[in-house]
Amino acid sequence: MTNTSLLKSRSVWLLIGAILTVTLPLWAGDQYRLHLAALIAVYWVLIAGLNLVVGYTGMLSIGHVGLLSIGAYAFSILAGKLGMDPYAAMVIAGLICGLCGLALGLPSLRLPGFYFAMATIAFSMIVNEIILAQVDLTGGGIGLPGPMFPVPFESPTGFYYLAVIVAAVVTYLTWNIARRMWGRGLIAIRDNPVTAQAVGVPMFQAKLIVFVFSGITAGVAGALFASLQTYITPDTFVFELSMFFFVCIIIGGRGSIIGPFIGTVVLTWLPESVASLAKLGNFFYGLLLLIVVLAVPEGIGRMIKMIYERFRPRKVESFAIRPDRSKLKDALTQFRPSHSSAETEQSRSLHAASVSKSFGGIKAVDDVSLVLKPGQVHGLIGPNGSGKTTMLNLLSGYYQADAGSINLQGQDLLAQTVQERAKTGIARTFQKPRLLPDLTVLENVMVGSWLHAKSGFVTTALGMPSVAVEEKAFREQAIELLKGVGLEAVMHRRANLLDHAQQRFLEIARGLALRPRFILLDEPAGGLTAVEIENLGEVIRGISDAGIGVLLVEHHTDFVFRVCDYVTALNVGRMIQSGSPEQVRHDPEVIRVYLGA
Amino acid sequence: MKFCNTKLFCRLAAASAFALATATAAAQPIKIGWLSSLTGPLSSAAIAENEGVKIAVDEINASGGILGRKIELLTRDTAGDPTKAVNFAQQLAFSDKVQFVIGPVNSGEGLAATPVLARAGIPNIVIGAIDELTNYEKYPRAFRVINTNFQWIDTANKYVLDTLKKKKIAVIADTSGYGTSSAKTAIELLEKAGVKPVYSVLIDPNKTDLTDELNKAKAAGAEVIMPWSAATGLLGRLLNARGDMGWNVPVVGHPALMAAQIRKLLNKPQYWDQTYAAGYVSTTYDANGKLPARTQALVDKVRPKLGGGGEIDVLFWWVAMGYDTVKVIEHAIKKAGSTDPAKIQKALEDTQGLEGVYATYTWGPKIRNGFPDSNMAMNAANTFKDGSFNRAPQ
Amino acid sequence: MLTVLVTGLATGMLYAAVALVYNVMFSTSKVLSVTTGHISMLGGVFGAYFISTLGLNWVIGLVGAVLVGAAFGWLTDVLAIRRVLARSDEHLWLLSTLAMATMVQQAVGLWWGTEPKPFPRLIPQEFGAGIWDQKFWLPIGVAVLMAIGLDVFYRRTMYGKLFLAMSEDAFAARARGVSTDKIRVMSYILSGALGGLAGFAAGQLTFAYFALGHILTLNGFIALAVGGLGSNVGAIIGGAGLGLLSALASYWFGGEYQQTIAVGLLMLVLLLKPEGLLGSKKVRPV
């Protein structure tokens, strides 16, 4: 290996970092710097957990100082006043904070962004009030001494290593979450909640789990903090500290672990070394936050990745999408569970009967019935405002029908949420492609496999071997699907760098990763050239070859009549004709309202 | 002969080496760390104390320093934040390697920083009043210069019970560390004297209207209000509420009641009447309107710097105390003959009757609170003049 | 007891005024700005500065405070909103306004000091006036006048109707030739002026205090959420309710749990009627 390639290797940098961290007591200089380093490690324990909440899931939680203080006080009371073993006390403090995170999250996580942020701020103020009021328990304004850990962690150097060990463990846990399916799911919630729903991510539960996790890390950080500072008072836990945690993550950049870590190091160390900054401390954090939001909203993490990519230039060539119909069919049949022969085509079909939906006084869909058969391409056409997209939304669960029924395999779909319908096997694409811009094409497709990931949060965090096995399978499937739709050449490109047509095909691949029974395509030909439409036709045919039913809502009627086995035409919410393409094309009513002469 | 020469040579070498060493040591300044909350809560006290400290340092350096060594003052603004106080204490102790630390000012910061300094073995001049800050076993090198909170509370209590002869007392304190602990001590002491307060409450120091609390105190039949808070804003509002209500009861408590800022906060100057606070003999005018000689001397020195030549509008004991902290260090170094921490500790333990401006200090092997009871006095707030007061009516 | 009610009502009306400011900003930008409470803080601080420190008379002080508020509103738009709205990321404005709020709070803290400083008497009045003290009826009066004024503004003036049009459907308004950017800037300047006025009027109640910003942002928001986003009447009701509840609770149970009770109210309302008492379901900021 040459010198330059050694420098580019990420593992080399990590190794250097690890060596520096472990040998820090030797080169830090004095105990003060050691104290600062330990403080950084303790802050990082909290920030690493909070990073999943803020950076990955996009929940703007600004009240984590409340959880830190609960952890600190719980630890000090348990290990100090009640004489419990400090390690046990630290664990219990973490669990208590996890419970508090649950108590805060349950009512607040459903609230929209600003409301949620205010709720977290209010939470930290309430915690402060309670601490001041419960004088007998917390010492009120006087505070409590922070207990020390036993040998060998009671000396400054020893404590530093304890903090580093805990920080390393927490980093490992969050790193596991971030790089696997869970991380992608969280990013989906952040960047495109509609997509997250479509692939089956249980949004509220996922947010809650991550929030509780961040509570646990905050609690553990609180325990370590109390021990490091040797004394805690309510004055220590001010709103500005919450801001500080928050700013570390934002300037570090979302979707990154190394970014917020560097942010933490820099923002902790900077006010200490530049004494005049100490006074301006919080003003400076605000200014920094404003600059980052206006100029570099993606933070340092993104800047690092950009610099990294500059050393590894990828030749960005333009290319044409070349789908492979048979490859697609193989990819799909390989991963789809086969059905038992006892099931008839009837039972495997999706039946929508007399479905109606009104918005205010307008009946968008009026008594429409259709049947989607497995392996059949069913077109849905009509002029603007005829209710096509509404119908698609009704089938996929984004709208609730007012009347009628939708059944699949004996299940009443009307009772099911979007995620549940995804589980039943309904995938969809959107009129405007909804991708996750920060992830690569490959990762975007892998998100589609969410429902098939059996690894829970804890299993993923712990890095159990089963997770890697699953991941490998999803990756392989995604690659096959990309080969099938013809995007294999760009699979490592960031999704926001794709052109319009590529985005559409990517979305279809993602929908297929769900291993659906039916895929609903919402005007996929919009904005495509003639060649690209041909390719789209190939893809659709490949999907139906594999036995997956397709609902094609489209305006390109030539395309519809060419590629579909069955067509339904709507007008003003009602069905005006349905049958074979030939039938519908020549129907006088259809010609009159839509096709023209 | 050779032997003689060598011996002479060795002696000369040793002598010159020694001279060189002491000369280098003499060139080495004595580093004093100063943890002060110059911004943030209690900044007015810190700023005044800072003036006293600076005057003492300049004075000492101008006359050649201590044992030929100049003082280097390292000031760290903790802004009232205990985390900063701990960090700066660590920095002063291990990075800057100071020989002494004065402060911190706030009790919350003191509770956090004092153990850090104690572990580093650095002599700490304590200027926070809260009782837990000194302990000859836990913090052997922390010597307190300010009076203890106990002394404040006891003086005030005795004035109320013995001089004013009131038994129905309302105790009002703030929710800070200082306030919580003081309220507790005050109530304990009153109960020991056989008096239970008719009303007591802890208030957020930033609460803007105290009419509710005073109404409740009035309804409980209180004849005197005893506030324990160092927050001048809160105390000002307390006096305003009493005045606006037209409730004519005495207010007796923390010296911050007498701070000049309060005068600016009052709705009417009369609201400062019937307000008495624990003060010091050293900053009380005698019957002829004269201050003790040492206090007057410092006032004359300070006036050009603080009052701009005109009136001094801060509590003078803050300045005097700041001045004394440096003088105590000077005394300790001279007595110990070096800055060796163990010797300093011994020197201060053996100090009795050290005459300062603010007080005359006496410590002991088991005694770390150096302020004498005899220096306590009750002052009348509305007699504020140049930072000192007349005695409260006896 | 009467004093408790009046104090609570007065404080509550200040919160209501902040909620009105939220409404004006939200109507044209669909943004809930963290700086809303800070505008009123500036009104109070600068009012005290102009009158007490600089010795100007109270009318000039009032005008000055309103201008400072308006300027800060404009600054919020320029720095925190304008460039951010252009991007599609929803929550960037929350970060940018949070950053601005922090900066202005810290800057004022460094300049003005961290202690609540007294606000000057505006109208000569005896201090023993009890519940008729101007520190109570000034904020109450101003909040009510603001609500009425806004109603007149929306219904009777051209610009008011433009505001309404933008809040219903900004896209359609732009399609009709309305310069939505200009309208938005105007609404921010207006809301800044209103906020400054409210802070000035309530100055004798709250004192000139740098940390008021966060407190008002939070409590003003609670008033807004309880009363219903988008409803000015709701803002008044929500604010009054919050103020009275807080005052009564701290009277009976002591002031230690004041914030807890206020937030408890918010949570209760959000659970039972998420769009607030008088809010329209349509206007839910999802």
Q: Which residue from A328, A314, A306, A330 is spatially nearest to A490, judged by alpha carbons? A: A314
Bridge partners (DSSP) listed for residue B203: B174
CB A318 within 8 A of CB A490: no
Residue C273's contacts (CB-CB under 8 Å, 6 or more residues apart) are: none
DSSP string, B118-139: HHHT--EEE----GGG--TTT-
* CA A41/CA A260 separation, integer angstroms: 12
The confidence score (pLDDT) of residue B81 equals 83
The confidence score (pLDDT) of residue A171 equals 95
Residue in C closest to A283 by C-alpha: C103
Cβ separation of B111 and A278 shorter than 8 Å?
no
* CA B49/CA B321 separation, integer angstroms: 7
The confidence score (pLDDT) of residue B11 equals 65
- Give Cα A374 distance to the centre of its chain: 31
Q: Which residue from A86, A82, A127 is spatially nearest to A104, judged by alpha carbons? A: A127
**Dihedrals φ, ψ of B374, to 5°?**
-65, -15
C122: in domain: no
pLDDT in tens, B169-213: 999 998 877 888 889 899 999 999 999 999 998 888 877 778 888
Supply C113's token pair. Answer: 């000091």
Q: For residue A363, how many other CB atoms are within 10 A of its CB?
A: 16
Domains, chain A, ordered by start:
3-310 (1.10.3470), 325-335+348-595 (3.40.50.300)
Residue in A closest to B110 by C-alpha: A231
pLDDT in tens, A18-71: 888 888 888 888 888 899 999 999 999 999 999 999 989 989 898 899 999 999
C125: in domain: no
DSSP string, A342-395: TS-HHHHSEEEEEEEEEETTEEEEEEEEEEEPTT-EEEEE-STTSSHHHHHHHH
pLDDT in tens, A451-475: 988 888 999 999 999 999 999 999 9
Asked whether the bond before A152 is cis by omega within 30 degrees of 0, the reply is yes
C101: in domain: yes
Cβ separation of C251 and B212 shorter than 8 Å?
yes
Q: Considering chain B, what is the average pLDDT of its residues? A: 87
CB A125 within 8 A of CB C266: no
The confidence score (pLDDT) of residue A1 equals 42
Q: Is the pLDDT of residue C279 over 80?
A: no
More confident residue, C81 or B310: C81
Residue in C closest to B209 by C-alpha: C205
Q: Is the pLDDT of residue B127 over 90?
A: yes
CATH code assigned at C216:
1.10.3470
Q: Is the pLDDT of residue C68 over 90?
A: yes
Q: Is the pLDDT of residue A216 over 70?
A: yes
Helix (H, G, I), strand (E, B) or coil at B225: strand
B residues 131-150 closer than 8 Å to A (CB)? 132
Supply A480's token pair. Answer: 């096959």
Q: Is the pLDDT of residue B314 over 80?
A: yes
**Dihedrals φ, ψ of B228, to 5°?**
-125, 90
B residues 264-303 closer than 8 Å to C (CB)? 264-265, 267-268
More confident residue, C171 or A494: A494
Q: Is the pLDDT of residue A314 over 70?
A: no
Q: Considering chain A, what is the average pLDDT of its residues? A: 87
Q: Is the pLDDT of residue C213 over 60?
A: yes
C43: in domain: yes
CATH of domain B25-148+314-374: 3.40.50.2300
C129: in domain: no
DSSP string, A167-226: HHHHHHHHHHHHHSHHHHHHHHHHH-HHHHHHTT--HHHHHHHHHHHHHHHHHHHHHHHH
Q: Is the pLDDT of residue B160 over 90?
A: yes
The confidence score (pLDDT) of residue B345 equals 93
In this predicted structure, which of A43-57, A373-387, B142-156, C59-73 has the lowest mean pLDDT? A373-387
Supply A472's token pair. Answer: 């490998």
Angle at CA B293, nearest 5°, toward B287 and B298?
120
The confidence score (pLDDT) of residue A292 equals 85
Using a CB–CB cutoff of 8 Å, tell me whether B111 touches chain A. yes
CB-nearest to C96 from A118, A121, A293 is A293
The confidence score (pLDDT) of residue B80 equals 81
* Same fold for the pair B25-148+314-374 and B150-287+378-390: yes
- pLDDT band at residue B371, thresholds of 50, 70 and 90? very high
Percent of chain A surpassing pLDDT 90:
38
In this complex, the chains that touch B, judged by 3 or more CB pairs closer than 8 A, are: A, C
Q: Is the pLDDT of residue A407 over 70?
A: yes
* CA A410/CA C217 separation, integer angstroms: 52
The confidence score (pLDDT) of residue C46 equals 94
Q: Which residue from A144, A222, A131, A224 is spatially nearest to B112, judged by alpha carbons? A: A144
* CA B169/CA B160 separation, integer angstroms: 9
B174 interaction partners in chain A (CB closer than 8 Å): 141
Residue in C closest to A126 by C-alpha: C260
C18: in domain: yes
Asked whether the bond before B104 is cis by omega within 30 degrees of 0, the reply is yes
Cβ separation of A132 and B87 shorter than 8 Å?
no
B residues 192-251 closer than 8 Å to A (CB)? 202
Domain locations along chain B: 25-148+314-374, 150-287+378-390
The number of domains in chain C is 1
The confidence score (pLDDT) of residue B38 equals 85
In this predicted structure, which of A306-315, B18-27, B95-104 has the lowest mean pLDDT? B18-27
Q: Is the pLDDT of residue B1 over 50?
A: no
Interface of A with B (CB under 8 A): 29-33, 35-36, 39, 132, 135, 139-143, 145, 229-233, 235-236, 238, 272, 275, 278-279, 281
More confident residue, A313 or A353: A353
Cβ separation of B176 and A141 shorter than 8 Å?
yes
Helix (H, G, I), strand (E, B) or coil at B380: strand
Q: Is the pLDDT of residue B264 over 50?
A: yes
Q: In which domain, by residue range, is C73 found?
A: 2-113+134-283
Report the b/e string of A85-124 with b at 16+ CB within 10 A. Answer: ebeebbbbbbbbbbebbeebbeebbbbebbbbbbbbbbbb
Cβ separation of B268 and C256 shorter than 8 Å?
no
The confidence score (pLDDT) of residue C284 equals 38
A235 interaction partners in chain B (CB closer than 8 Å): 80-82, 106, 108-109, 176-177
The confidence score (pLDDT) of residue B312 equals 83
In this predicted structure, which of A15-24, C174-183, C212-221 has the lowest mean pLDDT? C174-183
Cβ separation of C118 and B236 shorter than 8 Å?
yes
Using a CB–CB cutoff of 8 Å, tell me whether B130 touches chain A. yes
In this predicted structure, which of A221-235, B24-38, C26-40 has the lowest mean pLDDT? B24-38
Mean pLDDT of A227-232: 90
Q: Which residue from B179, B186, B231 is spatially nearest to B206, judged by alpha carbons? A: B231
* CA B354/CA B325 separation, integer angstroms: 12
Mean pLDDT of A507-512: 92
A115 interaction partners in chain C (CB closer than 8 Å): 225, 270, 285
Residue in B closest to C121 by C-alpha: B267
DSSP state of A550: E
Q: Is A586 exposed, middle or buried (0-12, 13-18, 19+ CB in 10 A)?
A: exposed
Q: Is the pLDDT of residue B27 over 80?
A: no
Cβ separation of B83 and A272 shorter than 8 Å?
no
Cβ separation of B176 and A35 shorter than 8 Å?
no
* CA B25/CA B335 separation, integer angstroms: 18
Mean pLDDT of B316-336: 93
C148: in domain: yes
In single-letter form, the type of residue at position A589 comes to E
Mean pLDDT of C44-60: 90
A62 interaction partners in chain C (CB closer than 8 Å): 98
CATH class, range B150-287+378-390:
alpha beta
The confidence score (pLDDT) of residue C164 equals 80
The number of C-beta contacts closer than 8 angstroms across B and C is 49
- pLDDT band at residue A275, thresholds of 50, 70 and 90? low
C121: in domain: no
Query: For the complex shown, is ipTM > 0.90?
Result: no
The confidence score (pLDDT) of residue C286 equals 31
Q: Locate all alpha helices (DSSP H) within B193-265, ordered by sequence.
A: 211-219, 232-245, 260-265
Residue in C closest to B236 by C-alpha: C118
Helix (H, G, I), strand (E, B) or coil at B344: helix
Q: Is the pLDDT of residue A320 over 90?
A: no
Query: Residue for token digits 């410590």?
Result: B363
Cβ separation of C89 and A130 shorter than 8 Å?
no
Mean pLDDT of A286-310: 78
DSSP state of A322: -
Helix (H, G, I), strand (E, B) or coil at B34: strand
Percent of chain C surpassing pLDDT 90:
37
Cβ separation of B108 and A32 shorter than 8 Å?
no
In this complex, the chains that touch A, judged by 3 or more CB pairs closer than 8 A, are: B, C
Cβ separation of A238 and B82 shorter than 8 Å?
no
The confidence score (pLDDT) of residue B17 equals 57
**Dihedrals φ, ψ of C177, to 5°?**
95, 5
pLDDT in tens, B34-69: 999 887 767 888 888 999 999 999 999 999 889 889
Cβ separation of B132 and A142 shorter than 8 Å?
yes
Q: Is the pLDDT of residue B2 over 60?
A: no
Q: Is the pLDDT of residue C16 over 90?
A: yes
